[in-house]
């Protein structure tokens, strides 16, 4: 979220500096001055979220990106079988909504708006990928802790 917020603020700054033509009927100054504080809010929320996660000191997700990607089908199969209760149904529903939003032609911010038109899609995509990565990393930890000897995974 920090990176996303920084990207939005930087986009606003670049619009202020280099854009002269109206953007979707709005002046570049308005768009730039709206994007800069909006991005700063997102970045600030990301910093607060990261601090809260560090303060919890719980066991974090494990595995590199390739291992996490390979774990997604097993995660889905185990969750569908009811053997992995740590993944809430609401999380899976949010993933489905995010996928529908990404493939849907209907957008909150239309694509014809330069820079901002794709930012909402980029934000949803970043959230979806990071959420899937964290969930599959947590699943790998759960799998490791439950000594799934059928897959050859040993407990630490």
pLDDT 10s digits, 54-105: 777 666 667 888 999 999 999 999 999 999 988 999 999 999 999 998 888 7
Is the model's pLDDT at 154 over the cut of 80?
Answer: no
* Summary mean pLDDT of the chain: 82
The arithmetic mean of pLDDT across residues 121-149, rounded, is: 85
The pTM score is 0.60
Say how far apart CA 66 and CA 64 lie, in whole Å.
Answer: 6
CA distances to 29, 64, 71, 140 from 144, in Å: 53, 14, 12, 6
DSSP SS3 for 88: coil
Can you tell me whether residue 26 is helix, strand or coil?
strand
DSSP 23: B
């Amino acid at each position: 979220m920090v990176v996303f917020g920084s990207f939005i603020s930087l986009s606003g700054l670049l619009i202020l500096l280099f854009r002269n033509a109206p953007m979707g009927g709005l002046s570049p100054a308005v768009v730039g001055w709206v994007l800069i504080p909006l991005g700063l809010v997102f970045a600030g929320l990301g910093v607060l979220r990261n601090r809260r996660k560090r303060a919890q000191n719980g066991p974090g997700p494990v595995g590199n990106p390739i291992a996490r990607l390979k774990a997604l089908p097993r995660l889905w199969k185990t969750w569908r079988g009811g053997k992995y209760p740590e993944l809430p149904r609401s999380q899976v529903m949010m993933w489905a909504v995010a996928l529908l939003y990404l493939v849907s032609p209907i957008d909150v911010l239309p694509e014809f708006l330069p820079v901002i038109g794709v930012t909402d899609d980029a934000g949803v995509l970043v959230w979806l990928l990071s959420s899937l990565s964290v969930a599959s990393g947590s699943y790998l930890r759960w799998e490791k802790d439950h000594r799934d000897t059928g897959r050859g995974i040993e407990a630490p």
